[in-house]
């Protein structure tokens, strides 16, 4: 008989397991804290869990869902890329980046990706499956335990399109944010999407407080249709219409990611178009120099010029250059890819 996955269950689900087995429901909270606060996944090490519950868990549930296959250490900065194997022998990658007191973890939400962005290495894999909530969470647990420095920021910018695995991604965010769990502030959790409009609208309507980042990467639909094919289904203007419904004052500015590529989206006209698109939106524009993979696209040599043009045209938004870490180990934005049989 296949065992039920325990890791990834929330407090209510863990309490229900206890109740159904004629045990006090407070043991569910104890399990919850062991996994998500103390980062302990071995049931034998959970000292205040009664023997009866330990036996039930051991016989009927599985906790460990990932194993570390390999690690890649950057020579240029304190960045480590982790290659994890799932229980069905598929591979995913996560990236841990430490900069002074800031420890950012870039995690995956899917094995592969179906969005098929033309410039992204992960897209070449196609989609294999969604990660379950436990597989998302365990990336954080393994790396936290190994690197010792507490994780301060989570970004869903690894393999996959988070909003095509919406339920598991949001559930994992809730566990990360919960004061009885990882206790990460909602403003330290960022979900990046290529523009899955129905889920953007759902995210806004549900009033989540996590940071939202839109991978825009183009200033017009003609260019974006080529770079991100789903733009043909959900074009820029539709996404921006939805974004304008977001309560910026109560929550946080929307972030727009713009990967700058030579002779693709880096002209002065592109800067003017981008400024006009976002002029009435409370937002942050992150200009990301393209991280080259095997393919047609090249990094722009107009990065500083493009940013100056944006700032000159309009001052309603903030503009930053986001240099990716871990390029020497293929751990930077757009470079994550694994071979899955």
The number of residues in the chain equals 341
Q: What DSSP element (H or E) covers 212?
A: strand 211-215
Residue 117 is among the residues annotated as catalytic for this protein: no
* Coil vs helix vs strand at 269: helix
Residues 6+ apart with CB under 8 A from 6: 14, 31, 35, 57, 61, 62, 63, 134
* Nearest in space to 10 (alpha carbons), one of 117, 133, 98: 133
* Nearest in space to 174 (alpha carbons), one of 40, 64, 10: 10
Catalytic residue among 13, 69, 93, 304: 93
Residue given tokens 């698109």 in the structure block: 277
The CA distance from 29 to 19, in Å, is: 12
Catalytic residue among 106, 117, 120, 333: 333
Q: 98 - beta bridge partners?
A: 103
Return the DSSP state at 7: T
Residue 18 is among the residues annotated as catalytic for this protein: no
The CA distance from 288 to 334, in Å, is: 10
The CA distance from 104 to 324, in Å, is: 12
* Nearest in space to 165 (alpha carbons), one of 194, 208, 185, 140: 194
Q: Mind telling me the catalytic residues?
A: 93, 333
């Amino acid at each position: 008989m296949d065992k039920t996955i325990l890791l990834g269950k929330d407090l209510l689900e863990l309490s229900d397991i206890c109740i159904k087995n004629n045990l006090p429901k407070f043991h569910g909270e104890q399990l919850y804290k062991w996994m998500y606060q103390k980062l302990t996944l071995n049931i034998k090490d959970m000292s205040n869990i009664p023997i009866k519950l330990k036996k039930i868990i051991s016989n009927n549930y599985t906790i460990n869902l990932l194993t570390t296959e390999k690690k890649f250490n950057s020579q240029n900065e304190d960045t480590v890329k982790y290659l994890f194997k799932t229980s069905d022998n598929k591979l995913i990658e996560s990236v841990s980046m430490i900069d002074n007191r800031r420890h950012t973890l870039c995690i995956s939400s899917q094995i592969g990706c179906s969005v098929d962005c033309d410039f992204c290495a992960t897209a070449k894999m196609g989609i294999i499956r969604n990660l379950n909530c436990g597989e998302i969470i365990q990336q954080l647990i393994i790396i936290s335990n190994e690197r010792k420095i507490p994780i301060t920021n989570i970004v869903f910018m690894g393999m996959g399109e988070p909003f095509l695995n919406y339920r598991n991604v949001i559930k994992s965010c809730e566990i990360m944010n919960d004061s009885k769990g990882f206790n990460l502030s909602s403003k330290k959790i960022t979900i990046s999407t290529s523009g899955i409009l129905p889920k953007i609208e759902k995210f806004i309507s549900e009033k989540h407080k996590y940071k939202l980042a839109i991978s825009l990467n183009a200033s017009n639909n003609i260019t974006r249709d080529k770079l991100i094919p789903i733009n043909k289904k959900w074009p820029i203007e539709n996404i921006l219409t939805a974004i304008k419904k977001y309560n910026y004052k109560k929550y946080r500015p929307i972030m727009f990611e713009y990967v700058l590529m030579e002779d693709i989206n880096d002209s002065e006209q592109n800067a003017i178009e981008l400024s006009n698109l976002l002029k009435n939106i409370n937002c942050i524009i992150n200009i990301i120099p393209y991280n080259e993979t095997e393919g047609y696209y090249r990094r722009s040599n107009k990065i500083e010029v493009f940013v100056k043009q944006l700032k000159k045209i309009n001052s309603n938004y903030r503009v930053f250059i986001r240099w990716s870490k871990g390029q020497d180990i293929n751990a930077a934005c757009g470079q994550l890819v694994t071979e899955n049989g």
